[in-house]
Structure 1
Amino acid sequence: MPDEQRVPKPASTQGYAEQAEALIPQYEAIPFVKRHEAELHLLPTAPSRILDIGAGTGVDAAWFAEQAHSVLAVEPTAEFLTAAMRLHPSPLIEWLDDTLPGLERVLSRGQRFDVVMLSAVWMHLDETERSAGMPKLASLLAPGGLILLSLRHGPIPAGRRMFEVSGEETIELARQHGLEVVLNTLTGSLQPGNLAADVTWTRLAFRRGG
């Protein structure tokens, strides 16, 4: 593991360790450009600093590294983190065991990032955790930096901890911390099981002023 001592497993990751064997190939099957088609036009083209929170199997971190960006990939589920390091080795990716809403290890580094990504993460946090997490996300952005955030809507998979979080609530919370919404769109799911269950996604992007 990338850390000698792991952080305590948060409630937000409930069910993922137990289901990791089945989920890893599902996550790897969908390419970055397909999963994030709605946000592609917002991403920096010059080499930038990326923070991928809830990096999962590392498929997003790997894409950023392929574009010559440097990535800090944060994942609290050991099974995903181990798979990510095996599947996507890159000198441009640093792996870290940490979690929202605290992000203590990330914050202790004193770094600022051009892009902070939370793909399928935010709806695992309860209202108190979301309120605590948003100002920390804002503090991690470089001037002009971008937060990319997706929210899942639909039936909650068995064994998972998930909340119905609206785009409107998230936009207002971000606004309170100096973040301006620059993308707000609803898309369908790409995974066959989610598609059959009518799962949809709100895809949001926020910009911090310079």
Structure 2
Amino acid sequence: MDTQTVPGTEGYADHALQLIARYGGVPFLDKYRPVLQLLPALPCAVLDIGAGTGADAAWLASAGHTVTAVEPVAAFREAGMRAHARHAIAWVDDSLPALSGIAARGARYELILVTAVWMHLAAQERVEAMQNVSRLLDPGALLVVSLRHGPAPAGRRMFAVTARETIDLALRNGLQLLLSTQAPSVQARNRDAGVCWSWLAFQK
């Protein structure tokens, strides 16, 4: 997949080396603290959309989950495959809003993560993405979405997406809201820049 054509990947490949180092320094338990109580305790099928270098996917795989990591930026995907080779992670070159490669597999998931991704999609792309993501959830499954608020880094395509809009999209696609909360960034440089996050959890 050519990352130049993938919505929301603009600017990431150009700063891949710097970002790869940063991504590995964010502990899973710190990042996901707002939703930890909702994550499945028993091993299940997980889809990590926009997996980056796979730090989250690796943590979940080490906890016994069966993880599929979707990442369209080749530099991140390749770094993740090297760094986490000991973990049984299925890496896929695919992206929102279509997720055509994942959809073609016909699999369903008990947990889908869309963290630090949604705000890179334009309005109509978000509509299409929610339709496609909701179809991939098993009945009773959990969807976690995080939204970045604050100044966008230079060269990135990022939209001001509200929690309310995202909740409404999910409800229209048959999902139930379990949690909506806001938390400061776990990265000091982002906190200093005024960045915070909305964390949303839905059930199919």
TM-score by length of 1: 0.94
Rate the CA distance shift 1:79–1:171 in 2: closer, same or farther, 3 A.
same
TM-score by length of 2: 0.97
Pairwise CA distance, 1:92? 2.4
Partner residue of 1:36 out of 32, 36, 45: 32
Residue 22 (structure 2) aligns with: 26
**Equivalent residues in 2 for 1:3-152, closer than 5 Å:** 6=1, 9-152=5-148
Structure 2: stretches of 5+ with no match in the other structure: none
Partner residue of 1:199 out of 172, 175, 195: 195
Distance in 1 (alpha carbons) for counterparts of 2:137 and 2:89: 18
Indicate the SS of the match to 1:145: strand
Distance in 2 (alpha carbons) for counterparts of 1:181 and 1:152: 19
Q: Deviations over 1:2-29 (max 9, x none)?
A: xxxx355413100000011111111110
Pairwise CA distance, 1:90? 3.7
Pairwise CA distance, 1:192? 1.9
Distance in 1 (alpha carbons) for counterparts of 2:166 and 2:43: 28
Checking the alignment, whether the CA contact within 8 Å between 1:26 and 1:191 is kept in structure 2 is no
Distance in 2 (alpha carbons) for counterparts of 1:37 and 1:21: 27
Distance in 1 (alpha carbons) for counterparts of 2:31 and 2:85: 21
Distance in 2 (alpha carbons) for counterparts of 1:117 and 1:11: 18
The residue type paired with residue 97 of structure 2 is P
Structure 1: stretches of 5+ with no match in the other structure: 1-5
Residue 181 (structure 2) aligns with: 185
Pairwise CA distance, 1:149? 0.5
RMSD: 1.0
Indicate the SS of the match to 1:100: coil
The residue type paired with residue 78 of structure 1 is A
Checking the alignment, whether the CA contact within 8 Å between 1:7 and 1:97 is kept in structure 2 is no
Residue 156 (structure 1) aligns with: 152
Distance in 2 (alpha carbons) for counterparts of 1:25 and 1:191: 13
Count of residues paired in the alignment: 203
Segments ≥4 residues shifted beyond 4 Å: none
Checking the alignment, whether the CA contact within 8 Å between 2:119 and 2:147 is kept in structure 1 is yes
Aligned-residue identity in percent? 47
Pairwise CA distance, 1:161? 0.3
